[in-house]
Amino acid sequence: MGIPLAAGRNFTRRDDENAPRVAIVNQHFADHYWPNQDPLSKRFRLESAKNAWVEIVGIAKMSKYIFVAEPPSDFVYLPYRQNPSRGMFLVAQSSGDPAALAAPLREVVRGLDVNMPIFNVRTMDELYQIRATSIFNVLVTTVGAMGLMGLGLSIVGLYGLVAYAASRRTREIGIRMAIGAKGRDVLTQFLIEALTLSIAGGAVGVTLGIAASRILAWKAGWPILLSPGAVALAFGFSAAIGVFFGFYPARKAARLDPIEALRYE
């Protein structure tokens, strides 16, 4: 796979079933169990081989093994002759179109063993799309849809709250305007109230979002990727939405006729 070694040696043909068991571990494994030490020639037990002792002969550099966004994890490489498996992946490198190798490889395997099943044939580009792009697209789409739903609910709730407050305070608005308050004063007051509600809701939402992201990152073992710019943008957008959708009921309240407002019950 082209993963370079940081120290030690690679496997050889001498590492067969009659030789002492050996392994190559990644750098994270070495730093985890033997920090500030030379892990070469260290040994560990392998449960799959009846607790046999395995000697470390090489240190491989870090790589991604299952998922492109996975955190650094321990990984052990074992020679096939010492640890045979019923299921394996065959990886072949081509100089041309990799998909064109599928048919010849199937024929080669059938020539070796007619009963050997072959399945899940795909190119590295397809594997990368499935393991990286497709999964992220699903996550982003799901989170984005949930965010839009939450934004829509907050907009409806904020508009309804400001409109309800304006309708409940119609008589108060009439009294204020009758004793000299201007329409812009009423408009400013309702916009300030809408902005206050938006800021309060945004503060609660950002706090809960940060806490949820930390919990998810801790459960998944991923690093916390929280941008202060994104948090500030979300907070500012929440305030702007509050002012924008609170403007209509506030303007409606500012245009009330004082006489009609005083008669309102």
Alpha carbon distance 195, 97 (integer Å)? 59
pLDDT higher at 216 or 93 = 93
77 lies in the same domain as 191: no
The reply to whether 164 and 253 lie within a common domain is yes
Burial annotation 89-125 (CB, 10 A radius, 16+ → b, else e): eeeeeeeeeeeebeeeeeeeeeeeeeeeeeeeeeeee
The number of distinct structural domains making up the chain is: 2
242/70 Cα distance (integer angstroms): 38
Quick check: is 25 in a domain?
Answer: yes
Same domain, 57 and 148: no
Mean pLDDT over the full length of the chain: 80
Residue entry with tokens 């470390």: 56
Among the three residues 66, 88, 110, which one is the final residue of a domain in this structure? 88
Residue 134 lies in a domain: no
Do residues 58 and 145 share a domain? no
- pTM, two decimals, is 0.55
In this structure, the answer to whether residues 78 and 155 fall within a common structural domain is no
Does 100 fall in a domain?
A: no
Q: 218 is in which domain, residue-wise?
A: 140-263
* 244 falls within a domain: yes
Whether 94 is covered by a domain: the verdict is no
Which of 88, 118, 150 corresponds to the end of one domain? Answer: 88
pLDDT tens per residue, range 155-174: 777 777 767 766 676 667 66
User: Are residue 84 and residue 15 in the same domain, yes or no?
Assistant: yes
151 shares a domain with 37: no
More confident residue, 165 or 140: 140
Give the pairing type, strands 22-26 and 43-46.
unpaired
pLDDT tens digits for range 5-21: 999 999 999 999 889 99
Name, of 5-9, 172-176, 248-252, 261-265, the range with top average pLDDT: 5-9
Residue 111 lies in a domain: no
**Do residues 52 and 145 both lie within one domain?**
no
Distance of CA 131 to the CA centre of its chain: 13
* Band of pLDDT at residue 26, cut at 50, 70 and 90: very high
155/109 Cα distance (integer angstroms): 61
pLDDT at 262: 55
pLDDT tens readout for residues 100-136 = 888 888 888 888 888 888 888 888 888 887 777 777 7
Nearest CA to 239 out of 187, 189, 197 is that of: 197
The pLDDT, as a whole number, for residue 101 is: 84
User: In terms of domains, do 144 and 249 share one?
Assistant: yes
- Same domain as 180, residue 83: no
The answer as to whether 108 is a domain residue is no
**pLDDT, tens only, 28-41:** 999 999 999 999 99
pLDDT of residue 121: 86
Higher pLDDT, 26 or 68: 26
| Same structural domain, 154 and 232 | yes
Residue 163 lies in a domain: yes
Is residue 265 within 8 Å of 169, Cβ to Cβ?
no
Whether 71 and 173 map to the same domain: the answer is no
The pair phi, psi for residue 31, each rounded to 5°, is: -70, -25
Among residues 65, 88, 111, the one where a domain terminates is 88
